[in-house]
Structure formats: C-alpha cells, structure tokens
Structure 1
Amino acid sequence: MSHGLGNPAPPWARAAVAWTVRHGRMLWVIALLLAVPAVWRTANMYMHLRSELEELLPRNAQSVVAIDELRKRMPGLQYLGVIVDSGSPENLPAGEKLLDDLAARVRAYPPELVREVRLGQAEEKAFLEKNAALYTDLEDLKTIRARIEARRDYEVNKQTGASLDDDEAPPPLDFTDLEAKYKERLGGSSDAKDRFPNGRWSNAQQHVSLMLIEVAEFSSGRGRGTELLDRVKADIVSMGGTDHYAPNMKVGYTGDVAISVEETSALLTDLSFSSIIVLVLVVAVLVVYYRWSRSVLVLLPPLLLATVYSFAIASFPPFNVRELNSNTAFLGSIIVGNGINFAIILLARYIEERRAGVNVDEALVVGVWGSRVGTLSAALAAGVSYASLALTDFRGFAQFGYIGGIGMVMSWLTAYLLMPSLTKALDKDPKAHRRVTHGGFMAPFAKLVTRHSGIVIAATAVLLVLSVHQLSRFGANELEYDFSKLRRADTWVSGEGYWGRKMDALLGTYLTPTVILTDSPEQAHAVEEAVRRAWMAKDSPLHDMISNIRTIDDVLPKDQAAKFVEADAIREDMTPKMRSLVPEDKKEQIDRLLANEENKPITFADLPHTFTTGLRERDGSYGRAVLVFPRPSRALWEGPPLAQFVESLRTIARDAVGPEAKPARVAGSLPLSADILESIRRDGIKASAAALAGVILVVLLLFRTNLISVYIIGGLLLGVVWLAGGMMAFGVRINFANFIAFPITFGIGVDYAVNVMARYAQDGRRDVGLAVRATGGAVALCSLTTTIGYSSLLMAQNRALFLFGLVAVLGELACVSAAILALPALVSWLDKRRGGRRSTAPESSPGSEHGRPATH
C-alpha cells in the first residue's frame, strides 16, 4: 500500500502512469516537434501586437465601424507635436531656430509617414485676411454696409443742414458684436490673434514653441508613430541636441501619436521587465521549497510547452486570435503563473512519497493518482473562469478568455503526460530526497486551524463583516471613469501628459477632432446645424465641451458672387472722409474686408491644406464630414461626461439626417473610449456571473452534492468577498484591465480550496490539519509563484497594468488565506462539534498510513 494514499491507485491508473514513463521519449519527441510551429505562431502573434483601442471592442461596435470607415475615407487627422521649452523668454528665438532646422528635415520624410509640417498659422492667417469678405456671412456684410451708409447719411445730413435733430447722436461705426462672432471661425481659440500675433505657435511668456507633424494615416494605436517619433528624436541628436541652441532647453512630444507610442512602449517594457523578475524569483522559490535543484527542470519545460500550445491553438478556428491586444499581451506570464499550479501539486505529492522512502515508480503512481482530482478540478475551474470572458462582446476579454482557458487545460495535460517520464529521468540520486521528521513549514498553520480554530473563525468573521459593510456601498462609482489614471505613472511629470498640458495652454484647443461621417453634403449641413444649435444651448451637455465646429461651408465660402457685390459697395462707401471717422482700432477690420479687390472666387483647390484636413476624402470628394473639435478639459478623460458627449453627438447624427436615411457615424478616439466603458459595464456582470456559475458547476460535477462541495464553494465565495471588500477599502476601482482579475480569482479561489479539501477527503476526512500540512504547503507555493508574477506588475509604469497586478495580488491573498486558514478552521471546528475523530498518529511518524505529515 502506498504511503499517504487513502485510496490506492487502481490497476488501470498504474498502467497509465507506466505507459507515460515507458513511452516518455516518444511523447517528448512529439511534444517538441509540435512546439516548433507553436513557437512560430506565438512569436508571430507577439510581433503583431496591436495597441489600437478598437482592438478591445467587438467589430460591430458603433465606434469601431465608424473608425474603420474613417480610415477608408480620410487620410491624416492625427498629429505629433514637438514642443520646445526654451527655459526663458530670451531663449525663445533659439527654440524656434531648433524647430525650423528640424522642420526642414521632417519635410524630407517619406510621404507615407508625414503629410505636412506646420510651425504656426501664418499661411492660414494671410489667406483669411486676404479673403475676409468671403468668410463673412452675407447678412453680416449687409449689416456692415448698412452701418457705414447710416453714418454716411448722418454726416451728409449734418453737413447740409438737413438733420431734423441737432442733438442726434451719430450712428457708431462699431463692429465689435460681429468681430466676436468670427473670432472662433476656422479653428483656434477666440484670442488666437492675441496668442500668435506673428502667426507662429510661440509664446514668450510661456517660453514655448510648437511644431505639428500631421501623420499620413489615422491610427488609434502606435501604427507608424514609433518610426516617426524615433526619426524625429534621432534628427534632434544629429543636430547637436538642445544644448547646441541654448542652455536649459527641453524638447517634449505630445499629441495622439505620442500618447499611443508612450503607452504601448511602457506596456512592452513593463512586460519584458516583469517576465525577467518573475522567472528569477520563481526558480529561486521552487528550489528553496523542494530542496531539489532539478525540480525546476521537471516543472518548467512542460509548462512552457503548454504556454506556446495555448497561443497556437487559439490562432486556429473557431477562435481565430491572430493578433494580441493590450489586454492579451501579458497572457504568457499569466498562463505560466497559473498553469504551474497543477505541476506544483503533482511534484509535491511525488516528493512527499520519495521522502517517505517510496521508490520512483511507486511515488509517480501515488503522485499522479493522489493529485489528479484536485488538480483536474482546479484546471477545469480555472479554464471555465477564463472561458467565461469569451462570452462577452468585448474582444479584450474574449481573446483573453480563449487563450487563458486553453492554457489551463494544456498546462494540466502537459504536466500529467510529460512530467512522469521527465521526473524519472532526472531523479537518479536516492539521496536527493532526504527524510524530514517534522511537519514542515505548514505545521504551525495546521496547529493554528486545529487547536485554535475558534480564533481563526472569529478573525474570519470580523473580516467578512467588514468586507460586506464595504460592499454595501458598492455602486456605479466603483468603475474607473477617469482614463487619465490609467496612463503611465510618469506621463504627468515628464511624459506626454506633461507636454500635452503645455500644448493645450498654448493652443487652447484639441488638435484631433471627432468626425461625424454622413453620406451627402446635405446631410452634413443638417448635422452641422444641429450640432451648432446644441453647442450654443447653455443647458446642452455639448455647450462646454466643444471648442469649434468645421464643415466645408466654413472653409469654402457660400454666396461668393453676392458677397463681392456687398464688398464692392462697402469699398465705394468707404471714402477718405468715412475712413477718417472709423476708430483706429476698427480700421483694420474694414481693410481686411476690402483686401481682395480682384473679386476672384475661391475654389476648393485654392484652400490651404490645413483647411481641408478631415474634409477632403481619399477619392477627392468633400462636403460629407463634420469636424467637432472638443475643448481641452478633464471631461475628456472622465467617463460620464465623455459618454454624454458621445451619446449627444450620436443622437444628433441619427436624428438630423431623418428617419429614412442611414444614421451618420461618429468616429474618433473619444467614441472608442466611451464604448469601452459601456462594454465593461455591460459585459462585466455577464462574465462574472458566468465564471461563478461555471466554477460551481465544475465542483458539483467532480465532488457531487456533498459536504466537500459546500466547503469548496464556501471558501471560493469567502475569498471573492474579501477581495471585493479589500478593493473598496483600498480605493481601487474597476477598469478595463483589472476587471479580468475577477473571473481569474474565481478559478484561483476554487483551485486552492479544491486541493486542500480533496486531500482531506482522500485521507478519509480524519484530520484537516494533515491536509494543511501535506497539501497546504504546495498550495502556498502555488499562490506564492502566482503572487510573484502579479507583484512584478506593481513595478509597472503603466497604471492599468499596475492596478491589474494589485487586484490580482489581493485576490491571491484572499483566496489562499481562505483555503489554508479560514476553511480548514471551520472544518476542524465542525468536526469537533460532530465528535469527528482526528488522527492519533504522532507528527514524527513518517510511515503512518494516514497520519504522515507533509515533508516538503
């Protein structure tokens, strides 16, 4: 009879283990041959890491459909800002010289990389001043003409004595009301003229100067932004750097391109760094725990094979995961961290037998048979937890679920198929496993839960009450709506966030518009009028969130012939006498109206390029898009106002074109962000409920509806409640990254409780303390290796990744505490109440059938 195995393995189980040992070489050859294409497909998926926001959403999401259409119809629309802080107003000319030199180089970049380079709006300013009359509404030109003629008639009547009222005040030649109306036309803030008197984006008081690089293609991810940013940085270095121009000068990068590159680069750097840390610490922990140096060689190769198999299988139908996104990028580390648990339990059971003096073959049989139920239950439960994410429409969750679920099953299979032969091949030294005559490091915990179960239960109850109290306050506010808190930590100190604020302060407007795509110029006109009305309404959510609206009507003047007639009439009315009556500060306005004496109409081809960006489509057509420029504010980062902004535009886009027409589409990064928040809110409950139901079903199928199942499910619920309460206590909100930790925690909560309770049941329910001493150590090791993996994320610059790691660590602590402390204490207390018999074998007796303690 095998040591420590309450139910000896049946003949067929012995034969199965013997078969895996006898054919181990063949199994390993097949596994390694399969690994070749699996590694290739896995590497290919990581090489095609997609950071675009739309990769997280379903293909049929409104924002994804809209942005796909935007890319097909429109070039450009995104920028890389290069901003120089000269350090002092005196150094500003040097900063402008640096940007001039850099602009000359950037203009030579390939056209597929850079569309245009701008240092200011001098060209646009000159164009508007030359054609001011055409960009003034016809009715306003008539008003200007009427005021001039009214003043002319007053002066004539006064001069000829025809005036009937000598005290009549002269009609003022004041156009202040009309001037205010046109200050925000064609982009920019109302004080654009005062901000940039020479047309260049520079401000001496802020000692900053800006260059904008319009990228060739629209992208919500890195796209070719990395290539562009790297070339710009290399050119600055080759120019001698900032010190070549002036001391204490700094250069920063901002805009959509800089955000995408910065965030994705931080993600990749964090993952690479965390992978190294995890590997080193996990190897060290395994060696220390097992006290057998070859344990690492036994555990890791099958696990690594399972990991690459998982990615490869997920790339085939029906899963079709061909590219990784920002949520699935760190799945490799998670599969390793969770998947190693099954192998740890198996090897721990094997070494326990070896230390009791059992030979290799018999120890393998005991290890495989004794650990099979607990590890299989844990693998299926964890797999179901991951797979529950695949039920959601959110691709960031669904792909995570596919790969993670496959990974758990593959980790179990490779452990039980490949580890026996590998273990026998490596375990040649009979002295490698010395006998241990004490209860191991879990002995104090076993004593605590058996001899002081009341104290543990009391502490458990207190924590449970506190957690439930926290959960009673749970509401919509527990979702993280502020996207600025999910960016990399240093962005607001030295990164894009820091430089972006400087650019916002300089320009006073958001560079990249939200685009409303229609199917005809008539629809675009209707949508523009509806958006403008909402913008002007003080009770509208759009009132404070829009900086400017632009359509083809804003850049290509209407009624040009009639406007020329009015301009000619004004020119005729503006005699030297009348001009002398115009206040000095208003003469410039009149001069601009009369600048174009040629009366040459403006065509679309005459317009500056910046006027047509976002309006000219790839096929050369125009007039079907409405550009809405949001006003820079914190609302752009916060969920409720962001969702309200997007929903208001979508409602207008639907209603303005009429019930029979296809609704206009709202495209851009802001609609994507709003849809991500809505998807998490909608799919979060669905995935969590499915994960919990699936885990409970697995437990009931494997353990039937008995007391052990109740214990396991109770331990799971306790760990989850502790996790949720801990999150609220620490003020950690749910976001699109750390939400994944919840379904994973359901699998983990069952994993640890299952293995402890399975050992308790296997030993005849005699002594739960023995289960803690024997299997609790392996469970603690499983938790420790997984916690190491998650804890490495706490060093991440990416805050979403950091928060995922924090929630996962809290989940680990909650679940392992429930499994090896709270649950066994409750079982021990209930056993005593029922008068259950505990094992009387002494702790130092290694040969006892059921009383031998854990020796690892």
Structure 2
Amino acid sequence: MGALLLAIPAVWRTANMYMHLRSELEELLPRQAPSVVAIDELRKRMPGLQFLGVLVDTGNAENLPAGEKLLDDLAARVRQYPPELVREVRLGQSEEKSFLEKNIALYTDLADLKTIRQRIEARRDWEVQKQTGSSLDDSDTPPALDFSDIEAKYKARLGGDGSEADRFPSGRFSSAQQHVSLLLIEVGEFSTGRGKGTELLDRVKADISALGGTDHYAPNMKVGYTGDVAISVEETSALMADLSFSSIVVFVLVVAVLVVYYRWWRSVLVLIPPLLLATVYSFALASLPPFHVKELNSNTAFLGSIIVGNGINFGIILLARYIEERRAGVGVEQAMVTGVWASRVGTVSAALAAGVSYASLALTDFRGFAQFGYIGGIGMVMSWLTAYLLIPSLTKALDKDSSAHRKVEHGGFMAPFAKLVTRRSGWVLAVSGVLLALSIQQLSHFGANELEYDFSKLRRADTWVSGEGYWGRRMDALLGTYLTPTVILTDSPEQARAVAEAVRKASASHDSPLHEMISNIRTIDDVLPGDQQAKFVEADAIRDDMTPNMRSLVPPEKKELMDRLLANDENKPVTFADLPHVFTTGLRERDGSYGRAVLVFPRPSHALWEGPPLAMFVESLRTIARDAVGPGAKPARVAGSLPLSADILDSIRRDGIRASSAALIGVMLVVLLLFRTNVISAYIVGGLLLGVVWLAGAMMAFGVRINFANFIAFPITFGIGVDYAVNVMARYAQDGRKDVGLAVRATGGAVALCSLTTTIGYSSLLMAQNRALFLFGLVAVLGEIACVTAAILALPALVAWFDGRRGRRARASDHPPSSEHGRPWTTH
C-alpha cells in the first residue's frame, strides 16, 4: 500500500515529463554551449525566422494555374490564423519586386550612379562635339551607353544566386518546368523543436481538406510540407509513434516469454508491478533536486522502455532461484529466503554496475547524455529495491498452489549449453578466440570516420522518399537557397557592418571554406539604402541628362532598366517602416531596433548535413564573428540549427571517451568491491571485455557508425555485460566452484531470460521510423548478443577448461606414472 501511495505523485510527475517532450536540438547540449547561448539570445531578440512551406506538385505544367489557385485559397485562410502561429504569408516576390523597381536608384551604390551619370555625360559631350564640328579626331569611338556591368552587379541584390528575375518571371514561387508552386508561411516564434508547429501544420492540412483537397482543383496533384516546422513535426511525431509502438510490443512479448520460461502465469503479476513502480519512481526522483530533470528530450524519451528492459533482470534472477527451490519441494517462505540470500550478491553487483554505467553519462556536459545517466542510474537502483522489497510479499500472496511448480526434466533448456561448455570447452574457446581475433582486426582500423557525421542518415527512414526530405529538396531546387539563415548577432550596427564585410570577403575568396557554402549575406544596409540624399542628387542629374535624343542612344533592351532607374521622381526617402516585411525578417528586433544582425544564407548542399564541412562552416563564421568586432569587444554570436549540429558532433567527440572510460572503470571497481581481488573478479571482468570487443568489432564489420543516440549503448552494454557474467560467476562461487555447468543450467537460464527480455525491448526499436532510434536499437541488440554469449558460453567454457586442467594436475599428483604407458592416469 505504501508503494502504491508513492506511485500517485510519481505517475503524475512522469506523465508531466512525457507531456513536455522536447525535440529541440539545444535540449541535448549544455546550457553554456556557444550555440545554445546564441539560440537563447536569438529568441529573446528576434521573432520569426522559420517557415512552413506548402508545396504543390501539379503533375504537369498545364495544371500549374490550378495549383496556384489552391494555394491562393489556402493563403486566404492562413492569413486569418492568430499572430502567435503566423507572422506572414507569401506566394511570391511581387511586392518586393515592385518595391525595388520603384526605388532602384536608391538601391544602387552612389559610386555606380556617378558612373552612370559620367557615361551619359561623356556620350552627350561627344554628340555635341560631333554636331558642332569641334571634335579633334573624327575617328574617336563614341562612348557607349551600355550599363551591363553595373546591371550584373545588382542582379543578385537581395536574393540568392542572382537569377531570381529569370527564376520567377511571374513574381510567384512557381516553376512550369518543375511543375511546382509554393506557399511560404513564416511562423510566429523561433524554435528548433515542434513548438506550435504541430498546431499550425494540423490547421493547414484541415483547411486543404475543407477546400476539397487537390482533386477539387485538378487531378494528379500532390501536396507536400517542408521547412523547419515540417522537419520538427515529422521527426518528433515519428519519435512519439515509435515509442508508443515499441512500448506495446515490449509489454506483450515480455509477458509471453515470462510465462513460457517460468511456466507459472502469476510470475507476470509478481515481476511487472514492482518494475512499473520502479520506472515511475525513477522519473519522479530525477525531477527533484539535485537532478532537476523537468522535461525529456529525444535521447531520454525512450528511457522508460530501457528501464523496464534492464530493470526486470534483478527480479528475474530472484524469482528464478525461488522457483528452483519450489520445484525442489521447499515451502514458500524458505524458498524465498534462499532466493533472496542466493541472488543478492549477483543482483546487487549487477544493479550497482548498471547504475554506475548509466551514471557515467552524467559526467558529461552533453545534456542528452547527462539526463540519460541520471534517470537510468536511479532506475537501476529503484528496480533492485522494488524487486527485493515487493516481490517477496507479492509471491507469498500469489503462490498458494505448490503443484504449479512442476519439476523440470533433463535440466531445462540450458542443459545442452551446460554440456557444451563443460564437454566441448576447447571448441567453444577456439570459436570465441577466432571471433576475438576478427574483432581486434576490425578495431585496428578504428578512426574518426567511425563517427556518423551525416545527420541526414539519422532522420526518419521515409523522409527522402515521401516526407519532408523529399519535398525539402524540391523546394531548395525551386528557390535556389535555404530559407532559414544562420544569424550572427552583434551589439551595434557598426559591428554588424564589420562582420558582414568580413564574411563577404571570405566568401569571395576561393581559398576560404565559405566560398562554395554561402548563397547570400544580408544586413540592414542591404535593405535600407544609405546616402539617399546624395543619390537623389545624382538621379536628378541623370534625369536632366536623359533628353529624348540621349534616350534614343540607349540600346533598346536597356531602356526599361533606365526607365526604372528614373521612375521615382518624388525624391522621397525610404525608411525602415516602408520596407516590405520580407526585407526586415531577421533584422527587426522585438524592441523595434534594427541593424545589429547579419543574416548568412547557406547554399543548398548536402555538405551542410556532413560533419567536417559543417564544422568548418560554423568555425569559420565564429572566427570572423570574434575577430571582426575588434579587440576588447564582446565577440558576435553565431546562432541557428547549423551551429547546434556542429556543437553536438563536437560534444560527442569530447564526451564520448570520457563517459565510456568512466563507465568501464566504474564497473570494474564495483566488481572488485563486491568480489575482492580474486579469480572470480578476473573471470567477470574478462567476460565483460570480451563482450565489448565483440560488440565493437561487429559494429565496424556491419558498418554501423557511432552517433549521438546509439553512443549511449556503449556504457549501457558495460553495465549489462557485467550483469550477466556476475550472476553466472556468483552462482558458481556459491556452489563451491565445483561445477560451472550447474551455474549455466540453473542461473544461466535466468540470465538468458534477462537478455531475452532486454533484447525484446531493444529489438522493438528496429521497427522504428526514426533512424537514430533504429541505430540505437541495432547497437544495443548487438551488445546483448555479444555479452550474453560471453557470459553463458565463452566465460563458462574458460572456467571449465581451467577446472579441467586443475583436475588433471591434481589426479597426476595422486597417481604415479603408469609403467606401461609412461603417462599419468586420467581416468576417474
């Protein structure tokens, strides 16, 4: 009753943590990480900066007007959404194009306006000299009125790769060649997780359905969703679906194998309730001081299944020993006394070792690991406590029928394995040695390339076929640039100008890593023209110079450009308030100020999904942000999803070795503490190392790389690997080190069941859509197979081989050599 009463607040706190599942990348990193500090500042200073793209594939160019009509009708509805969801809706760039054409003179550099004026006046003077006959040389070539060089310079003004005029001749985000049309929705707040993205996406889908869907407008059209919002919703939805599915699969299969193994259906009622209580207790305790884990992230979200899969081991060992006694005809209480006494050392060792393995992750700065370590470490201790406090009471209440425990004939299903390790120990050791040698050979090639640098391989499996990955590539092909920039935050407009100039200089250099990676750089000076009064003076002078006679000398294809240059004769300055919204996105801050941000738009490329180029891109920007502001000034901050990804990779490289080393050393210390320095400790540690080497070799053989999710499987494997070896060797020691085969037959079965239930938990992740979860499950399953094989086959075979040698030596000392055969007697 006390356990159930404590479960009430524990369940509430656990449910609250799962309700606040956070998929933001920064939730994995320490708060002091440069990218996290920058993201926090960006949220405080800037609204928006992220988009949901609704892309219509019309199937063919003829259906393009129908697709545009669908987006027009959808845009009318989306504009009615509350401002916390939507800040701006765009179907094209007509507004910006019209604004630029009206004010093209102000967006031309003053020096270029002067050049235009000089060329016009030079040609005018030549024409006058020719008419008056004052030209000194009739062969002089007249100055050309050609401004192609200046026009080319401004073709890319405020947009991507310089081909927007050709890319969107209608002013809409549409392409007849690609038969697609795009609606861009700028979201209300910046987020690297789902945020309000799910609500926004659900409303958009509902409105498309209310409009009759694509078939209402034209046949064979498809709608896809892309951009930051679609990525976050897609990945988090897949994560939650995978968790729900895996939990159901794990529960059903674990119940089934428990009933099959114990042949007592009430074993489920004995084992599962304490385990569930331990799980909710673990999450609840982790939410309290000093841990303060209030929300789960993408790494800790599946910890519930892991605690269940690993924590059940202690109860399985205890109940297995209890039922062994009951099958021998011992009464309930005495059987439980024996079960608790006999299993306590092995399970305590296993619980502490597993807890230390998890806790080692808490030594890292990577929050995705640290929170995992807190909850997992507490979970192992709580699983042991609830098993040994509650299983005896539940067993006494439920075990009323002694006939339910029938004696197992022929030693149970582990009998063949016991015979194998005792009678064919040499063969088992030979195979184990070959696998060890192959693993070491694989590990000799281990290097930095064993880290997974390609983040695109960690997304959900179908994203590149039908999900955001597929539609995102099509949007990138349509626009020619990424929508969401990397933002460099400075403390003054002067610093922003210095940083922007340094970034432009670096991107223009063929020797810089930024040369091929930047599409466009934007500051307030790019959208709010400077020297406006001086430009008005030049424009008026050009207007005066462009008499009808001079205009007739302009090449026909350039007359339209000249007309646009001179269109605004009101000489009204452009203010920040006059700028179209798209010009000020990312530049206007929440307090109304502007001019302190530099927007760097990356060029669409797979390189930005890969570690080395991504790290080089971010580090180059950070170096510029530090150096360009001048000595003594606070360095500018580089914010965005790309710096977050780069810091995640850096953190894994830095913390990975630290956490793995701490886990391995901690597990060894636990073994030495409980078993002292003797041969049993050596066997246990040897079995653990064998399993770990096998795991690492298998990963390299199968080409499975380490990433921010599956890395956690290594410290867990240390704890689980020693768990199995500890229980087998503890039983061997309790039996007086007489027969390792008995330990395999009796405790080996329980160890195999422990591994099977844990493997079931991990195997459910192999069906996950999220590739990071899939790869975690794969590594964990490989670790289980390696460690349980080492514990119940390779390690007992080694013990049996040594015992056999000791037995032969002992018999040789008791019997003199045979005079007939000249060798020791070896018969019993």
What's the TM-score, normalizing by structure 2?
A: 0.97
Structure 1 SS opposite 2:707 = coil
Of 366, 369, 372, 2:341 maps to 369
Report how many residues are paired: 810
Matched, 1:674 2:646: yes
Alpha-carbon distance, 1:174 to partner: 2.2
Which residue is equivalent to 2:582? 610
The answer as to whether partners of 1:766 and 1:836 remain within 8 angstroms in 2 is: no
Q: How far is 1:693 from its partner?
A: 0.6
SS at match of 1:572: helix
Pick one of 688, 693, 696 that aligns with 1:721.
Answer: 693
**Match of 1:269, as an amino acid?**
A
Matches within 5 A, 1:355-394: 355-394=327-366
Q: Is 1:156 matched with 2:128?
A: yes
1:288 to 240, 260, 266: 260
Q: Could you tell me which of 286, 290, 298 is aligned with 1:326?
A: 298
Deviation at 1:585, TM superposition (A): 1.8
Provide the rounded CA distance (Å) in 2 between the counterparts of 1:483 and 1:172. 53
CA contact (8 A) 1:347 1:367 kept: yes
Match of 1:339 in 2: 311
Residue 579 of structure 1: how far off its partner (Å):
1.6
8 Å contact kept, 1:766–1:837:
no
Cα distance in 2, alignment partners of residues 699 and 81 from structure 1: 56
The one-letter code sitting in structure 2 at the alignment partner of 1:689 is S
SS in 2 for 1:214: strand
Q: Which residue of 2 aligns with 1:785?
A: 757
Structure-1 separation of matches of 2:621 and 2:212 = 47
Match of 1:176 among 148, 160, 185: 148
Partners of 1:189 and 1:507 within 8 A in 2: no
Residue type matched to 2:753 in 1?
Answer: L
Q: Give 2:96's match in structure 1, choosing from 124, 127, 140.
A: 124
The equivalent of 2:442 in structure 1 is 470
Q: Does 1:115 align with 2:98?
A: no
Is 2:761 aligned against 1:818?
A: no
User: For the residues of structure 2 that align with 1:306 and 1:515, how far apart are their CA atoms?
Assistant: 45
Taking only aligned residues, the RMSD between alpha carbons, in angstroms, comes to 1.0
Tell me the alpha carbon deviations over residues 524-579 of structure 1, each in whole angstroms, 9 at most, x when there is no partner.
11111111111111111111111111111011100001111111111122222222
What SS does structure 2 have at the residue aligned with 1:741? Answer: helix
1:453 aligns with 2:444: no
Evaluate the alpha carbon distance shift between residue 252 and residue 177 of structure 1 in structure 2; reply closer, same or farther with a 3 A threshold: same
**In the alignment, is the contact (CA less than 8 A) between 1:534 and 1:542 conserved in 2?**
yes
1:760 to 715, 732, 736: 732
Contact 1:266 1:797 in 2 (8 A): yes
User: Counterpart of 2:487 in structure 1: which amino acid?
Assistant: V
1:63 aligns with 2:35: yes
Cα separation, 1, equivalents of 2:245 and 2:392: 33
**Counterpart code for 1:275:** S
Q: Which residue of 2 aligns with 1:623?
A: 595
Taking the aligned partners of 1:696 and 1:98, their CA distance within structure 2 comes to 65
Q: Match for residue 775 of structure 1?
A: 747
2:507 aligned with 1:535: yes
Deviation of 1:55 (Å): 0.5
Q: Deviations over 1:358-410 (max 9, x none)?
A: 11111101111111111110000000000000000000000000000000000
CA distance in 1, matches of 2:19, 2:188: 23
Partner of 1:261: 233
CA distance in 1, matches of 2:251, 2:147: 72
Code of the aligned partner of 1:294: R
Q: Which amino acid aligns with 1:287?
A: V
2:130 corresponds to which letter in structure 1? K
2:445 and 2:373 map into 1 onto residues whose CA distance is 30
Distance of 2:478 and 2:456 partners within structure 1: 20
Q: Which residue of 2 aligns with 1:845?
A: none
What displacement does 1:180 show? 2.0
Cα separation, 2, equivalents of 1:713 and 1:621: 63
Matched, 1:547 2:519: yes
CA contact (8 A) 1:715 1:819 kept: yes
Matched, 1:501 2:466: no
- Post-superposition shift, 1:837? 10
Secondary structure at the counterpart of residue 403 of structure 2 = coil
**Aligned equivalents of 2:532 and 2:343: distance in 1?**
85
Is 1:521 aligned to 2:493, yes or no? Answer: yes
- Residue type of the alignment partner of 1:517: L
2:820 aligned partner = none
Q: Does 1:439 align with 2:411?
A: yes
| 2:56 aligned counterpart, secondary structure | strand
Aligned residue among 708, 731, 753 for 2:680? 708
Instruction: State the match for 1:7 in structure 2.
Output: none
Once the two structures are superposed, the pairs formed by residues 624-703 of structure 1 within 5 Å of their partners are 624-703=596-675
* One-letter code aligned to 1:274: S
For structure 2, the residue ranges without an aligned partner over 5 or more in a row are 811-828
1:654 is paired with a residue whose SS is helix
Residue number in structure 1 paired with 2:159: 187
SS at match of 2:171: coil
One-letter amino acid of the counterpart of residue 404, structure 1 = G
1:37-79 Cα deviation digits (max 9, x unpaired): 0000000000111111110000111111111010011100000
The 10-residue stretch of structure 1 (573-582 or 664-673) with the greater mean CA deviation from structure 2 = 573-582
SS in 1 for 2:736: coil
Quote the offset at 1:148 in angstroms.
1.8
Matched to 1:172, the amino acid is: A
Q: Contact 1:130 / 1:592 at 8 angstroms: preserved in 2? A: yes
Q: Distance in 2 between matches of 1:476 and 1:110?
A: 48
Give the whole-Å Cα distance in 2 for the aligned partners of 1:232 and 1:437.
64
Query: How far apart, in 2, do the equivalents of 1:183 and 1:702 lie?
Result: 75
Q: Does 1:313 align with 2:285?
A: yes
Map of 1:408 onto structure 2 = 380
1:834 counterpart SS class: helix
- In structure 2, what is the Cα distance between the partners aligned to 1:401 and 1:325? 13
**CA offsets 1:631-689 (integer angstroms, 9 cap, x no match):** 11011101111111111111111111112111111111111111011001100000000
Measured after TM superposition, the shift of residue 586 of structure 1 is: 1.5
User: In the aligned structure 2, how far is the partner of 1:348 from the partner of 1:388?
Assistant: 30
User: Could you tell me which amino acid in structure 1 is paired with residue 763 of structure 2?
Assistant: S
Q: 1:74 aligns with which of 36, 46, 49?
A: 46
Matching residue of 1:430:
402
Q: Secondary structure in 2 aligned to 1:489? A: coil
My pick for the range that moved more, 827-836 or 273-282, is 827-836
Find 1:748's aligned residue among 710, 720, 729.
720
Q: Aligned partners of 2:531 and 2:327: how far apart in 1?
A: 95
Q: Quick one: distance in 2 between partners of 1:226 and 1:90?
A: 33
Could you tell me which of 36, 39, 45 is aligned with 2:17? 45
Pairwise CA distance, 1:836: 7.0
Residues 113 and 224 of structure 1 are in contact (CA less than 8 Å); yes or no, is this contact kept in structure 2? yes
Runs of 4+ in 1 over 6 A off after TM superposition: none
| One-letter amino acid of the counterpart of residue 188, structure 1 | G
Residue 511 of structure 1 corresponds to 483
Q: What's the secondary structure of 1:490's corresponding residue?
A: coil
Secondary structure of 2:436's counterpart equals helix
Confirm or deny that 1:397 pairs with 2:369.
yes
1:175 CA displacement: 2.0
**Which aligned pairs between 1:87-102 and structure 2 lie closer than 5 A?**
87-102=59-74
Q: Which amino acid aligns with 1:176?
A: S
Match for residue 844 of structure 1? none
Identical aligned residues as a percent: 86
Letter of the aligned partner of 1:666 in structure 2? V
Give the aligned residue type for 2:393. Answer: S
How many angstroms apart in 1 are the aligned matches of 2:41 and 2:157?
Answer: 27
- Matched position secondary structure for 1:77: coil
